[in-house]
Amino acid sequence: MAGYDNLQQIAQVLKSNGTDGELVMGFREIAPEDISLNEPVFIVFDGLPVPFFIESFTKRGNSKALVRLTDICSMEDVEEITGKAVYIDESGIPEMSLEEDGYAALVGWMLLTPAEGQDSQDLATADEESVDIYEVGEITDFIDIPNNPCIEVETENGAVMIPLHEDLILSVDPEYQEILMQIPAGLL
């Protein structure tokens, strides 16, 4: 957002929850509990960030929350902002890293997988330019199930839960916030 360099995306409005203006937000790069309820969040309308204050906030999972914003009072209001990015002043965002925060830091990253027919042996022997990579979608949640951690990924066909096992991870690129995984057949 040119001219608004101090704002950083922290969430996206996913859908309505009921008919009275409550909405579901998916958070990225920041845990919902790290949001300051005293500071406004911003949603862009016609190229300008419009401030909203959080009236109520109930955490759901590791990266989602039920939220009520000022002046969002009906299902129609929520539908108008569904899919829109939610920003805060970046001075309020704690830094996350894989070393300190573990797999929860993957929320907001892009999940990639080798194109169908290529397996990890193909990738190990090929140079990077000859490998076909498929973009699965954005990681929207980390679910810490004991002995079976999973990530939730928003794909073109909806949300999918994928096991996050070290044997499936082919590479991790923190600079571009991408993770390349061999995804078991039948999950996508």
State residue 137's pLDDT score: 92
In order along its 188 residues, the chain shows pLDDT tens digits of: 444 567 888 889 998 887 888 999 988 766 666 777 788 999 988 888 999 999 998 888 777 889 999 999 988 888 899 999 988 886 655 555 555 557 777 888 899 999 876 555 555 544 555 568 889 999 888 888 888 888 999 988 888 999 988 889 898 888 888 999 999 888 87
33-47: burial string, b at 16+ Cβ within 10 Å, e else = eebeeeebbbbbeee
Q: How far apart are CA 22 and CA 63, in angstroms?
A: 17
- pLDDT score, position 129: 54
Using only C-alpha atoms, the chain has a radius of gyration, in whole angstroms, of: 18
Structural domains of the chain, ranges and CATH numbers in brackets? 7-94 (2.40.30.60), 100-181 (2.30.30.240)
Please give the model's pTM, rounded to 2 decimal places.
Answer: 0.49
pLDDT reported for residue 23: 92
Whole-number pLDDT of residue 119: 54
Per-residue DSSP letters for 75-139?
Answer: HHHHHHHTT-EEEEEGGGPPP--HHHHGGGGGTTPEEEEEPTT--HHHHHHS-GGGS-EEEEEEE
Give CA–CA dist 77/40, Å, rounded.
18
pLDDT of residue 59: 85
- CA angle 180-33-5, nearest 5°? 70
- Model pLDDT, residue 98: 55
